[in-house]
Each structure stands twice: as C-alpha cells, then as structure tokens.
Chains A and B, each alone.
Chain A
Amino acid sequence: MNWAIVKNTWQMCLNSKLRQLVIVLMVFWPLVKTTAELCITNEFPNEYLEAANNSVVFVLACGSGCIGGQLNDGTLSLVLSRPVKISSYAFSKWFAVAVAASVASLTQFAGEMIVVACRTPYMIDGGFVLTNFFERLMICFAFSAVFMFFSSLVSGSKDLAVYFVSFIIYKASEMIAQIRPETFDEGLGKTLATLFVPPIAVVDQALGFVLAPKIDLAPLLVNSVITWPAVTAYFTVLAVFVSVCIYSLNRRELPYGAD
C-alpha cells in the first residue's frame, strides 16, 4: 500500500466539483425522496434505507477516471517513473476508492437513519439496519476492484461507458433469462429458447454478481447461515479483479510523448 497514492486519490476526488455534486445529491437523495413522498401521499414511505446495491453509484462517482484519467493526461507516467510498483499503485487506488465510496455511502446511511429516527423510530429493525450497513461496505470494496479494472482498460472517464455497457448487457440478459422455454409451442422459438436461455441466465447471474458483488446477509435475519460458496464467490471477485487490474497495467505501455 502506498499512502501517498491513497491520499492523492482522495484529494483528486475532493477537488472535482462534479464528483462532489453527485455525492452530495446522492447523500441527500433519501431526504428529498421522503419529503416528496410525504407531500404527495401524506404518508411516510415504508422503505427507510436505500438498497445496498445503490452504493455502486458512490463507487462510480469516486472512482471514475481514477486510473484511466491519469493514463490519459500523462500523470501516471510521472508517478510510475518513481520507485512505485504497479501492484502497489493499483492496490492503493482500489483501497482509496473503496474507502471514499464507503464513507460517502455510510454518510447517506447515517442521514437515512437520522431521518427515520426522527419521523418513525418504531420502524427501525436492528437486523435489517446492520445487514444494510455491511452489505454497503461489501459492495463498495468489491465493486471498487471491478471498477478499477474497467478504469485500467480505457483512458479518461470511459470506464463509466464500460460500466453502462455491462449494465445494459446485464439488464438485457436478465430479461432473456426470465423466458421459460416450456411456455413455447414446438418450433424454432422453443429450440432457440432451449438453446440460448440457460447460458444467458448464467451470464445474467455472473454479471449481476460482478456489478454489485456482496455476500447476501439476508439469511442471517431469518436465523439461517451464510453459505461458504457465497463467501468464496465474493472474495474471488475481489481478488480476481484487483489482480487483472494489475496485470492489465503491467501489460500496458504508458503514453509518453508525441512520437
């Protein structure tokens, strides 16, 4: 871990007006939503915490262009002309983005808790709150690894485009995965559905996990246990994406001059 790079990444994040705006909007969004719903329906909404998966937005806001931006403007060349290992650089970037996104997400969480504690304290469910808290943290840390890999592949802030393309593919595969081949009459439609729906369902599951990686803690709420495959899958995604990010940066030639 290189603390100079970690601090530099946080400062870079804090110095971008656009990032600040997105994070502030996201932090205050639950308050705005609750107020709007109260004005329209004259009732408080039942959901008092944002879904943990929404923490992905904080990672996007904090991490966009984190590596690609430095590749694009040439500042990465200057950093790597110093005695800094690429693995240390990538690891530090991942850590900095993960912590920044976690802090932003947990600020939102704290805001939501204050709102619900003021308006309807009887609604607070300790187990649900804890689950949401830890799932946010897990998503911030693992999705940061995924997003750092995206950022190492492209220059500038095109990592956002890579994310959105992946998200669109995920949504499309989700729709296709819901098709049941047995609902088709015999014919080309049934054949195609039988042939393509199962692999697309696998893609859907994999992409869904990669784009919001977490260990589902819901079973804990019903006195069940978390399965080992879920834990393994989570840490595998984290380790694999940090590793491929390092590999991608190692293979890459840094833009240097005008030749």
Chain B
Amino acid sequence: MNSAETSAASGIVVKDVVKTYKAGKVKALNELSLTANPGEALGIIGPNGAGKTTLFGCLLSFLHVDQGSISIAGLPPDALESRKAVGYLPERLNFDKWMTGRQFMHFHYELSGQDPSMKEKVCHDLLTKVALEEQNWDLLIKRYSRGMLQRLGFAQALIGRPRFLLLDEPASGVDPAGVLLLRRLMRELKAEGMTIILNSHQLEQVEKLCDRVAFINKGKVDAVEDLKHGHAESCRYIIKWKPRDAAGDEEEIQALASRCGAELVERQSNLGVFNMPNIDAVADTLDALVRGGFRIVEATPQDNRLERFFIDGKTEAAREKFEASETKIEDLEGKNEASED
C-alpha cells in the first residue's frame, strides 16, 4: 500500500456508492466517490435533493448501500470501532424531549462506552466548551431553543473524542455569537487533527472552515474545489481610492489592470470592481494603481470563492439552477406581458 492509499485508508473513503429508493426507481446516490483525508475538513454542498443527506445516512450506516463501498479508518461504517470513531450532529435535532440537557449528555456518554468515572467531568467540560449556560443544563430539552439544541447536539457529537466528525447544518438556527463559537470550535477541532465532514448551505461558513468542497448534484460529485490552494483561483475585488480631479481615467485604470492580468468590470466615481485571475494579480494591480497615482484607501473581496464558483456556473447544479431561474423569470415576464395586453 503506498502512502496515498494508507492516508486514504485512515480517512473516510466512499467508492462508487449507489443508493436507490422505491425499488430502484429513485437513484439518490449514483456511483458517488469521495475521500476525506485524515485531519481534513471536507465541505459537502449541493441543491436540495442532491443526495447529501443520503450520503450522511450511508456514512453512518443508517441506510444500506446498493453498490459500492464505504470505509471509515479502513473499517465498514457499521463496525462498532468505526462508530466509536465518529461523532455526529444531525440536522434535525430530535432529542428525547423529556430529558434534561445533562441527562442527555450522560446517556450518550454511557452509550459511547467511556470510563464511567469521568462521566460528570467530560460532560461538564463539553457543555462548557459549547457555551451552553450552566443554568440550562438541568432544563428539560423540550424547553430548549433551536440554538441551545444545536449547542447540546454539538457537545454530544464530541463525546468520546471522535476522530471523525459528521456535521449536518451545524450553524442552522444558531445566533450570530453561536455561529462564531461553532466556527471557532470547528477550527480548534480541525487543528487537533479531527477529520470533519460538513454539510451546509452556508457557503461562507464552508469556505471559512473547509480545506476542500465537494459539490454534489443528482447523487454524483459534480466538482471538488480545493480551498487550501484557493487563492490561486479567480476572485473579484472592490478597490476604492481617494477622489481625484482627473477625469476620464477609466481607460487608464483598465490599462493598468490588464497589464497585471486583471479586468475592470465595473466603475463608479472613486471605486472599481476588478476580476482577478489570482492573488498575485491583486497585489500587482494594487501596486500598479498606486504607481499610477491612485491613493488606495480600501481593497476588499466582493464575494467569497464558493459563491463565485456557483455564480460562474462551474458546477452542473449551479448551471441548472441558474437556467431554471432564468426560465422562471422569462415565464413570469411572459405572463406579465400577457396580463398587460
């Protein structure tokens, strides 16, 4: 076994997985292959019904795959050892409502087969870690808000110090402070070497945390984007400068930008929106503008890379969505025109 294979074997490997529903009529996963390397944060993105949730179901062995194989640290997902190694936060936070938060944590601690003498301490530490206020620990779960449930679920997922963390919409319904906290926690866990698979519709969150992102559509991996080396990819920047007296400087800006490989796509009085092929082009363009007499006051990325990835239609899903929305707009316009007539 070579080093790449060894590395993959200790991570999560999904190979040609097919999962169908309704006696094969609905293909939720269609020969899907994916690898999450150890210590990596992998984002899963895709439209509703793309198969993301089914993939999570298969990874947790809740669903039986029709074809293909899944291995977690070289073991099948239904092996007890691999379950010990996986922490999981579901999207639907359906916990036993009659329990208190503390009882819930104790129950899952006992299920995880950890040292009973450490139960109180570990649960206390984890609930503190997710910043669930201590006064709420003995509150019935049915009285918990969505944000509190999310924190409790996150704490539960960390019981037993899992090597793999499967997170399904972890920041959904959480207040801004909670989002920042969860993001910080995920970063810490990743730094500790935990392999994280994150299913989220929040592109910004995925971009900030993940090393790679897999775009899933119609049960297949449509594209995989490497965010670690992301700055080598294109991005859009808004550059602001101090107002100048010189009029008609648009050609000048365009010339300076194009010399650095950038493109001016939009121009307002004292700012310009530039398409940059890479991060070097950003530095070069700024340098060229300063040398050209522009006093730069601000340079900010206009949107994140994943958004651009979607907007530019690099994935089939994005293209279809875009085309569908265009068609809808045309239909609506047609209807409006007809009603006006």
Task: Enumerate chain A residues within 8 angstroms of B108, measured Cβ to Cβ.
Answer: 78, 82
Closest residue of A by beta carbon distance from B88: A81
Q: A4-B110, A256-B53, A259-B28 are in contact. Are A81 and B80 (CB under 8 A)?
A: no
Please indicate the chain A residues that have their CB under 8 angstroms from the CB of B91 in the complex.
257-258
- Bound state CA distance, A16 and B98, in angstroms? 9
- Complex contacts, A73 vs chain B, CB 8 Å: 94
Pair A80/B62 contact, Cβ less than 8 Å: yes
Residues of A within 8 A of B54 (CB): 257, 259
Which chain A residues border B98 with CB–CB below 8 Å?
11-12, 15-16
Q: Is the CB of B168 within 8 A of A257?
A: yes
B216 smallest CB distance to A (angstroms): 11
Q: Of residues 226 to 259 in A, which have CB atoms within 8 Å of B's CB atoms?
A: 253-254, 256-259
Contact A83 B90 (CB under 8 A): no
List CB contacts (< 8 Å) of B73-128 with chain A: 80-81, 83-84, 86, 88, 90-92, 94-96, 98-99, 103, 107-108, 110-113
B243 proximity list for chain A (CB < 8 A) = none
Are A82 and B92 CB-contacts (below 8 A) given A259-B28, A259-B49, A259-B51?
no
User: B63: CB under 8 A from chain A?
Assistant: yes
A256: chain B residues at CB < 8 Å are: 53, 56-57, 60, 62-63, 90
- The reply to whether A12 and B62 form a contact with Cβ atoms under 8 Å apart is no
B52 at the interface (CB under 8 A from A): yes
Residues of chain A contacted by B52 (CB below 8 angstroms)? 259
> By the criterion CB–CB under 8 Å, are A259 and B53 in contact?
yes
- A-B pair count, CB < 8 Å, reads 86
Which of A3, A75, A258, A259 has the most C-beta atoms of chain B within 10 angstroms of its own C-beta?
A259
Give B111's nearest chain A residue, CB to CB.
Answer: A82
Contact B110 A12 (CB under 8 A): no
Task: Report Cα–Cα, A77/B53, bound state, in Å.
Answer: 13
Contact with B along A58-84 (1 / 0, CB 8 A): 000000000000000111011111111
Point out the residues of chain B lying under 8 angstroms from A253, CB to CB: 57, 62-64
Q: Is A33 an interface residue (CB 8 A)?
A: no
Closest approach, in angstroms, between the C-beta of A150 and any C-beta of chain B?
22
Flag if A77 contacts B95 (CB, 8 Å).
no
In contact, B60 and A77 (Cβ under 8 angstroms): yes
Bound state CA distance, A254 and B95, in angstroms? 15
Question: Is the C-beta of A8 less than 8 angstroms from some C-beta in chain B?
Answer: yes
Among A2, A5, A74, A84, contact of B90 (Cβ-Cβ < 8 Å): A74
> Who on chain B is nearest to A79 by CB?
B111
**Any B CB within 8 A of the CB of A171:** no
Bound complex: CA A74 to CA B60 (Å): 14
A257-B57 in contact given A74-B92, A79-B111 (Cβ < 8 Å): yes
Residues in A with CB closer than 8 Å to B80 are: 83-85
Which chain B residue shows the least CB distance to A15?
Answer: B98
Residues of B within 8 A of A80 (CB): 62
Q: Which residues of B contact A16 (CB under 8 A)?
A: 98
Q: How distant is A100 from chain B, measured CB to nearest CB, in Å?
A: 15
B97 to chain A, nearest CB (A): 9
Tell me the residues in window 43-66 of chain B with beta carbons closer than 8 Å to chain A beta carbons: 49, 51-54, 56-57, 60, 62-64
Q: A82-B112, A259-B49 are in contact. Are A12 and B92 (CB under 8 A)?
A: no
Flag if B95 contacts A83 (CB, 8 Å): no
User: What residue in chain A is nearest B21 (Cβ atoms)?
Assistant: A259
Contact B90 A77 (CB under 8 A): yes
On chain B, the residues within 8 Å of A85 by CB distance are 80
Q: Write the nearest CB–CB distance from A86 to chain B, whole angstroms.
A: 9
Are the C-beta atoms of A254 and B51 separated by less than 8 Å? no
Interfacial chain B residues near A82, Cβ < 8 Å: 83, 108, 111-113
Please tell me which one of the listed residues A5, A83, A259 contacts residue B84 in the complex, with CB atoms under 8 A apart: A83
Other-chain residue from B57, B62, B103, B113 in contact with A83 (beta carbon distance below 8 A)? B113
* Contact residues, A1-47 vs B (CB, 8 A): 2-5, 8, 11-12, 15-16
Given A2, A74, A81, A258, which contacts B83 in the complex, CB threshold below 8 Å?
A: A81
Contacts A83-B112, A256-B63 given; indicate if A74 touches B49 (C-beta within 8 A). no
Q: Tell me which of B94, B99, B112 contacts A74 (CB under 8 A).
A: B94
Complex CA gap A84/B110 in Å reads 10
In the complex, which of the residues A11, A77, A83 has the most CB atoms of chain B within 10 Å of its own CB atom? A83
Q: Can you identify 17 A-B contacts, CB atoms within 8 angstroms?
A: A4-B111, A73-B94, A75-B95, A77-B60, A77-B90, A78-B108, A81-B60, A81-B88, A82-B113, A83-B111, A83-B112, A84-B80, A253-B64, A256-B63, A257-B53, A259-B49, A259-B57
Which residues of B does A touch, CB under 8 Å? 28, 49, 51-54, 56-57, 60, 62-64, 80-81, 83-84, 86, 88, 90-92, 94-96, 98-99, 103, 107-108, 110-113, 156, 168
Q: Which residues of A contact B (CB under 8 A)?
A: 2-5, 8, 11-12, 15-16, 73-75, 77-85, 253-254, 256-259
**7 closest Cβ contacts across the A-B interface?**
A257-B53, A4-B110, A74-B94, A15-B98, A82-B111, A254-B62, A259-B53
